[in-house]
Structure 1
Amino acid sequence: MRRAHTVAQVRAAEAALMRELPDGALMQRASSGLAHAVLDLLGGGYGRRVLLLVGSGDNGGDAAYAGALLCRRGVAVSALLLGSSHHVAAIAALRAAGGQVVDSLEGLAPDVVVDGIVGIGGRPGLRPDAAAAVAELDGIPVVAVDVPSGVDVDTGEVEGPHVRADLTVTFGTHKVAHLVDPAADASGAIHLVDIGLSLPPAEVEALQQHDVAALLPRPARNAQKYTRGVVGVQAGSDTYPGAALLCVAGASCGLAGMVRYVGPDTVADRVRVVHPEVVGPGRVQAWVVGPGGGESAGEALRAALADGVPLVVDADALAEVDGPFAVPTVLTPHAGELAAMLGVPRETVEARPLEHARLAADRYDAVVLLKGRHTLVARPGGQVRVTTTGLPWLATAGAGDVLAGLVGALLAAGLDAWDAASVGSWVHGAAATEASGGGPIVAGDVAHALGGVLRTLG
């Protein structure tokens, strides 16, 4: 599990550890990890050039001490000091190792820039001098120290100018900004350096492959199709028959013992041709409602709720949601749909996705799967899982229909709403990556790849 802690949690853990260590030992651990990460990125030391942007806080000290280590490996290190005060001992160590402090960027041609401007205690945005330096260095690879300077560490929000890193070297634990967009998008690849922190549970986390494998439902030795779970799909319409086919494809991934389809006869006929194993109406352990449902989505939602079983609400049915649910429910909006549900502009949700996913989860007493580059799965009370699988090619019509069906199958197979949504989102993203091979895909490709990913997890 990749866990993301808040600034307060990290500060408390650092303070506790520093009481046990000699002065400066924690910063030396951090700077050593940072220096080695920079060397790995450079592919060696001799002949390389590194520019440090050194701010007033501990991140500036980490950068300067790392610069001293890089000097000893043959790197030409320059440091531009930003802010009013700096870590005196770290700057002295840098100079003693052969590094130089510069007053401007003129004449410098670094291979890598190290962003040590502000750390986890900084406010969103950059001061004008720092913003100007960052802008002047645009196009040069950036390694951020702990977090990209200028982002909001605890929310993942950005406001004003900020660093966009190619690599972020963080210490002790991940921070929320590393997982939650838009700050996560500015963090680049994440390299975690273990510095020995003892940390409490985190409210934001990201499942990894072994976590998903452990949660995946598996048939009992004496299983039969009904005990494995029956998922019902109410999706599609004469206008949007493809939504039904894709949703059923996601539900027919093999995790549930049976899939039932309920919808217009013309659509049902097409579903049976493509998926002959799918049957008609009957008892189910979970419903998926909404994809391509059009004007009938509200009626389908009310009928599904009357059954009193867990529920996935997607697409057109989301517009019919008007209050808390009495059954375990997963809502699967994209930013525009969630904005409509909460009565705010889409841009507001995109700027503050963590806040709005949590708000909706509490308002509707449901798990909210907010689709995006890093999908957020929030449950009432504030806990959030972030999906980091997938790739930009997954932004394609119908992919959400496949996801809704997959989550429904996981619900029917016995997972609770939070686990079903977060496992389904992870598997969906992994299937997209497998199907893509780095190139374009369509939603059907994702559905076809589900089986292979699930076999790998098995």
Structure 2
Amino acid sequence: MRTAFVVETVRAAERELMARLPEGALMQRAAAGLAAACAEFLGQSRGKVYGSRVVLLVGSGDNGGDALYAGARLARRGAGVAAVLLAPERAHAGGLRALLAAGGRVSTAPERDIADARLILDGIVGIGGKGGLRPDAARLAALASDSRAFVVAVDLPSGVEADTGEVRGPAVRADATVTFGTYKPCLLVDPARELAGAVRLVDIGLELPAAADLEALQYADVAELLPVPGAESDKYRRGVVGIAAGSARYPGAAVLAVAGALRGGAGAVRYVGPAADAVIDRFPETLVHAGPPSKAGRVQAWVVGPGLGDDADRVRDVLAADVPVLIDADGLRLAARATVRARTAPTLLTPHAGEAAALLGADRAEVEASRLPAVRRLAESYGATVLLKGSTTLIAAPGRVVRVNPTGTSWLATAGSGDVLSGLAGSLLAAGLDTVDAASTAAFLHGLAGRLAAWGGPIGAQDVAEGVRGAWREATRA
């Protein structure tokens, strides 16, 4: 499991460690890891450290000191290092002395030095930065982001909010970020994640709590969660998922939801709705019923909503069931919050940003800019697990650590892709996973299936569904 911690937790761990170490030792650990990473980046991009022009963008905080000490190490290896000091009187004194002693210099022509740089170290603002960059820092951030140099952010890109991933104005766009001790939420959550580039974690010896503030499943976690039939399994013991989706206008949504469900680990899929003929034509193994859902037969979980139109009766009937229910698409519009909160069985909501905004009474842009706070608010408001789809897929539930999905591709932004995800997650619910595990495992497989299907080119929702089996094999083989 990859984990991230908020600033308050990181600061407390740093204080505890610094109390046991000689003064300055922790910063030296960070600078050593940072310099090593920079040397590697220089080697990859141009072949060597010696003779490379390096520019340090140095603020008044500790990450400015990290940049200065790392710059001193690079200068001792023959790099030409210039430091742009935003507040010369408040620059880290020890780091600046070390840089100058190693042959580095203070820049007197920042624009020219940045234009000539091969590598730029962004040490403007650290994890304590709030509220965006000041004008002089914003100008340097723009120069660095627009330069031809390889830009490395120290701990996080300057201008992003460490705990939420929000970006309040200009910020550095890095090619890579070297972060210390642990991941910070902003490195895993958009819009900040997009600015971080490749993220390198440097271990500096922090002792962190067992419970993280954000977590992301890795291959081994997914392999452990995926249901595997035993020798005594039959289709009913493996779980039956019900799909209440589709309409005369949108029969394809039902087909795609069933496609995802059939590949999600449950033993059987029941379909209820007017798209039965389309479903049977494509998947003859599906059990179909005219409805209502409560009369269709036993299921271990329901998926309701994709392509449903205005069929509120199907939504109410499904929500009355005493089994886990996944609500997507039209179902989100038709399900009353009071009804969802009153359910005793688990509920999983799977909105995209526009749907989440409607549920919260907010603007879509607000949700996209503040994805982590938005998914937490929605989970608390509905008393349910929420999978917020988008450039960063987040899963939140009251009292649980928020999960972020690490897989995916922008090619997944295609019609019907969310219907496949709903069916896949519903099938995992029917197979016995709880709502958080089903949602995060489904998102992982869905993202991986999209990545495998795309290989850098356009895909459709059916390609994603067909790629789930390969993604399943990939996850369990790793």
TM-score normalized with structure 2 length: 0.93
Which letter maps to 1:262? V
**Separation in 1, partners of 2:131, 2:53:** 29
Q: Are 1:400 and 2:418 counterparts?
A: yes
**CA shift at 1:124, angstroms?**
2.9
**CA shift at 1:361, angstroms?**
0.5
> Counterpart in 1 of 2:227?
217
Which of residues 294, 309, 330 in structure 2 aligns to 1:294?
309
Q: Are 1:231 and 2:249 counterparts?
A: no
Q: Are 1:307 and 2:325 counterparts?
A: no
Task: List per-residue Cα deviations over 1:363-394 (Å, max 9, x = no partner).
Answer: 11110000011101010136210012001111
> Counterpart in 2 of 1:8?
8
1:246–1:447 CA contact under 8 A, matched in 2: yes
Q: Are 1:62 and 2:66 counterparts?
A: yes
**Separation in 1, partners of 2:78, 2:416:** 53
Spell out the pairing of 1:359-378 with structure 2 (5 A cutoff).
359-378=377-396
Which letter maps to 1:5? F
Which letter maps to 1:288? V
Task: List per-residue Cα deviations over 1:28-50 (Å, max 9, x = no partner).
Answer: 11011111111111113122111
Which letter maps to 2:237? T
**CA shift at 1:139, angstroms?**
3.1
> Counterpart in 1 of 2:429?
411
Q: Are 1:317 and 2:318 counterparts?
A: no
**Separation in 2, partners of 1:374, 1:6:** 18
> Counterpart in 2 of 1:199?
208
- Secondary structure, aligned partner of 2:169: coil
Q: 1:154 to 1:382 in 2, by over 3 A?
A: farther
Q: Are 1:88 and 2:93 counterparts?
A: yes
**CA shift at 1:24, angstroms?**
1.1
- Secondary structure, aligned partner of 2:82: strand
Q: Are 1:29 and 2:24 counterparts?
A: no
Which of residues 245, 249, 256 in structure 1 aligns to 2:255?
245
Q: Are 1:49 and 2:53 counterparts?
A: yes
- Secondary structure, aligned partner of 1:295: coil
1:288–1:404 CA contact under 8 A, matched in 2: yes
**Separation in 2, partners of 1:127, 1:8:** 23
Which letter maps to 1:117? I
Q: 1:446 to 1:38 in 2, by over 3 A?
A: same
Which of residues 162, 167, 179 in structure 1 aligns to 2:188?
179
> Counterpart in 1 of 2:131?
124
**Separation in 2, partners of 1:139, 1:291:** 45
Which runs of at least 4 in structure 1 moved beyond 6 Å after TM superposition?
A: none
- Secondary structure, aligned partner of 2:110: coil
- Secondary structure, aligned partner of 1:107: helix
1:56–1:87 CA contact under 8 A, matched in 2: yes
**CA shift at 1:20, angstroms?**
1.4
**Separation in 2, partners of 1:272, 1:80:** 67
**Separation in 2, partners of 1:30, 1:309:** 50
> Counterpart in 1 of 2:162?
153
**CA shift at 1:353, angstroms?**
1.3
**Separation in 1, partners of 2:143, 2:241:** 56
Task: List per-residue Cα deviations over 1:337-359 (Å, max 9, x = no partner).
Answer: 01111111111111111111111
**Separation in 2, partners of 1:389, 1:337:** 22
Which letter maps to 1:243? A
1:81–1:103 CA contact under 8 A, matched in 2: no
**Separation in 2, partners of 1:175, 1:165:** 16
2:264–2:428 CA contact under 8 A, matched in 1: no
**Separation in 2, partners of 1:55, 1:382:** 36
2:264–2:424 CA contact under 8 A, matched in 1: no
Task: List per-residue Cα deviations over 1:153-183 (Å, max 9, x = no partner).
Answer: 1111111221111111000000011111111
Q: Paired residues, what number? A: 455
Which letter maps to 1:219? P
**CA shift at 1:254, angstroms?**
4.9
Higher mean displacement: 375-384 or 222-231: 375-384
Q: Are 1:451 and 2:469 counterparts?
A: yes
Q: Are 1:282 and 2:286 counterparts?
A: no
**Separation in 1, partners of 2:232, 2:20:** 54
**CA shift at 1:321, angstroms?**
2.3
1:203–1:382 CA contact under 8 A, matched in 2: no
Q: For structure 2, which runs of at least 5 residues remain unmatched after alignment?
A: 289-295
**Separation in 1, partners of 2:77, 2:216:** 36
**CA shift at 1:103, angstroms?**
2.4
Which letter maps to 2:313? E
Which letter maps to 2:196? S
Spell out the pairing of 1:98-109 with structure 2 (5 A cutoff).
98-108=103-113, 109=116
Which of residues 61, 79, 85 in structure 1 aligns to 2:83?
79
Which of residues 257, 260, 267 in structure 2 aligns to 1:257?
267
**CA shift at 1:106, angstroms?**
4.1
- Secondary structure, aligned partner of 2:310: helix
**Separation in 2, partners of 1:318, 1:105:** 52
**CA shift at 1:221, angstroms?**
2.6
Which letter maps to 1:127? R
**Separation in 2, partners of 1:320, 1:406:** 22
- Secondary structure, aligned partner of 1:192: strand
Q: Are 1:268 and 2:268 counterparts?
A: no
**Separation in 2, partners of 1:96, 1:310:** 65
> Counterpart in 1 of 2:147?
139
